[in-house]
Amino acid sequence: MIDSGHLDRLGRPVTLRPVDDDNWRAVADVAPRDDQRRFVAALGARYLLVSTRSEVWTSLAVYADETVVGHVMWGVDDDGSHWIGGMLIDAAEQNRGVGRATVRTLAAWLGAKDGKPPVRLSYHPDNLPAAALYTSLGFHPTGAMDDEELIAEQAS
């Protein structure tokens, strides 16, 4: 479990846990709002398949208290940079501070790994809530793009 002590706005502890035999169905069912599907996968299931099929990504279940409320994954690029991806908070759980707590928790955990690697992520420039969230946590565009997405790195 990754627990940095962050709470959401309802006072629930937000923790990141391995996907296992007990929680994978709940993670697979995590779904964004319909209008957010242009930016992300329609279900957490898609990201679970990505991390199962790739050697790069590892999925984590996002918990608020003991409830699965989202999916996030992390990976390591060839250049040693550590990445956050597959950030998805269930539509019914958005705007409660879970996304902020999740990114803070995972970015701190990745950035503390050996060698203090740079922590990066990417987002579509039209995804204004994501852009606002990441910018407020110190992620700034590097100028590079990944397909249509801006690559951003957290200032150390």
The verdict on 41 binding ligand COA (CB under 6 A) reads no
8 A C-beta contact, residue 83 and residue 121? yes
Q: What is the token pair recorded at 9?
A: 């706005």
Cβ proximity to ligand COA: between 116 and 136 the closer is 136
For residue 115, the minimal CB distance to ligand COA (Å) is 25
- Identify residues 110-129 at the interface with ligand COA (CB under 6 A): 123, 127-129
3-state secondary structure of 111: helix
Q: What is the strand order of the sheet 139-146 is part of?
A: 14-18, 57-64, 67-76, 82-89, 119-123, 149-154, 139-146
Binding-site size, ligand COA (CB under 6 A): 22
Q: Which residues sit at the interface with ligand COA, rule CB under 6 A?
A: 32, 36, 39-40, 87-89, 94-100, 123, 127-130, 132-133, 136
